[in-house]
Amino acid sequence: MARIPKPLPDGVLHWPGFYPREAQEALLADIRAGVANAPLFTPTMPRTGKPLSVRMTNFGTLGWVTDKDGGYRYQPRHPVTGEFWPPIPDELLRLWRDLFLDEQPPQACLVNFYTDDAKMGLHQDSDETNRAAPVLSVSLGNACLFRIGGNLRNDPTQSFRLESGDVMALTGPARDAFHGVDRIYADTNDLLKDGGRLNVTLRRVT
Ligand code: SIN
Ligand code: MN
């Protein structure tokens, strides 16, 4: 018998299958165009310099970066090319506007690329000075197991799948919730020809 799904914590919004395949392809084309100007780079952990398993880049006026010497931060330019980040794709700005009528527009669009063996440890999004605005994300490509907890690292967590075309938001009481990506499910989607998963995350920073 199917299990009854557990309700998500207050403020965690999930729209499964928000974008149909054609819209996913269009969004992917927008992202590829941006990545052509702002190539994916390998971020490293503050202090240890250990590389993260995801590669990333950004669109928008501010991009989130991390490296050994500078730590976690937002900055207006790509750390490798020194160029300003490309603009956030119109479709993503429209999505934000449609969902969050009263919010100021997002300043940062973090692009995370996961190979099928990449993951992201449990963390809070806490480098924004504006912690009232929601965090909005779109998933493309292979599915992942997404983990979400509470505002304290040791709060209980629950996990659910994010599939290609899903939209998710951390709002209100869940804005500062710990979250991470436990694993990618290889061969669950063919949007990305070489596998892996792309996630874009929109944030208001200031
Ligand atoms: C993130 O927390 O930066 C990414 C989350 C995700 O890949 O779904
Ligand atoms: Mn995050």
Question: What is the pLDDT, as a whole number, of residue 2?
Answer: 75
List pLDDT tens digits, range 58-72.
Answer: 999 999 999 999 999
Cα(67)–Cα(119) distance, rounded to whole angstroms?
Answer: 18
Domain 12-203 has CATH 2.60.120.590: yes
Distance 1 CA to ligand 1 centre (A): 31
- Give the contacts of 123 (CB within 8 A, at least 6 positions apart): 178, 179, 180
List pLDDT tens digits, range 93-124.
Answer: 999 999 999 999 999 999 999 999 999 999 99
Closest ligand (CA of 200): 1
Cα(16)–Cα(13) distance, rounded to whole angstroms?
Answer: 10
Whether residue 3 is predicted with pLDDT greater than 90 in this model: the reply is no
Residue with the nearest Cα to atom 6 of ligand 1?
A: 199
pTM more than 0.95? yes
146 lines ligand 1 (CB under 6 A): yes
Residue with the nearest Cα to atom 8 of ligand 1?
A: 199
Cα(90)–Cα(27) distance, rounded to whole angstroms?
Answer: 9
Question: What is the pLDDT, as a whole number, of residue 6?
Answer: 83
Number of the ligand 1 atom closest to the C-alpha atom of 144 = 8
List pLDDT tens digits, range 13-54.
Answer: 999 999 999 999 999 999 999 999 999 999 999 999 999 999
**Tokens 């505002």 sit on residue:** 151
